[in-house]
Amino acid sequence: MTNKNQTALITGPTSGIGEQFALQMAESGYHLVLVSRSEAKLAALSKKLSHAHGVKTHYIIADLSDPEAPDRIFEETSRLEIAVDILVNNAGFDVYAPFVESDWQDTQNLINVNVMAVVRLTHLYLPGMIARNAGHVVNVGSIGSFIPGPNNAVYAATKAFVLSFSETIAEELRETKVGVTCLCPGAVDTAFADKSNLHSTPLFKYTAMDPQSVAEAGVRAMHQNKRVDVPGLVNKVAVYLSRFAPRRLVTKLSKRAMAREE
């Protein structure tokens, strides 16, 4: 895959894995379209990357919990005549609570960001990639794509959807030069975890990876055209073993791994 004059659109690039994706793609010479809710952070990151690496950067302010946001993003890139070659669906958030206690609006927003925006943006940008017979979609899943998550029920379910969706369209595109990768990290030390107060859980205390390493794995998997990549040895082992253990046991252990310490 060449990056000469190619453009990557990255959602959720102002912190964590998304920011590292933006940094690494800019270092490799990709032009960027950065999408997030925070105008100040987007403007600062856009300016920083453009000056540091000589790439063209554009930013679009959008809240992906709004069902209309993906279409507005596509309209803006079309207006600017930007052909998106790499789509990184990274934006996401969590609602950590027993399902029956969770706020419904928060849960609806989670589904909109983690599922609806991923599907709609992919549906909007794939036709151009297919027409050019070049491009790649990177969808950020989770080890929760493989393992149910008590107290994270909807989050884990959305990430299971992202994995199935990614593998399916990757097979549909097998005869083209358009690839799809689902990156499935475990615990990552990011603001995402801070917002959900997850750092006291065993999973985050003992296995959290840094976002730079996760993004590096994602970029590498993209260039290798891997359909699924689980970064980190502990995460690989956990996913592998989950295939053979009884589902009820896997779910019980998952609950313990994500239990906050009082």
Of the candidates 48, 159, 236, 255, the residue annotated as catalytic is 159
DSSP string, 62-73: --TTSTTHHHHH
In angstroms, the CA 54 to CA 52 distance is 6
Of the candidates 30, 59, 125, 155, the residue annotated as catalytic is 155
Widest pairwise Cα distance in the chain = 54
Of 91, 114, 90, 95, nearest to 106 by C-alpha is: 95
Q: Is 159 a catalytic residue?
A: yes
Q: How far apart are the first and last CA of the chain?
A: 48
Q: Which residues pair with 237 in a beta bridge?
A: none
Q: Is 177 a catalytic residue?
A: no
Buried b / exposed e over 106-119, threshold 16 CB at 10 Å, is ebebbbbbbbbbbb
Taking each helix axis as running N to C, give the angle between helix 16-27 and helix 39-53, from 0 to 180 degrees, rounded to the nearest 10.
Answer: 30
Decide if 190 contacts 145 (C-beta within 8 A).
Answer: no
SS3 257: helix
Site of tokens 């399902």: 99
Which residues, including other chains, have CB under 8 Å from residue 127's CB and lie 6 or more apart? none
Tokens of 40: 């100040």
Amino acid at 250: V
- Catalytic residue annotation: 155, 159
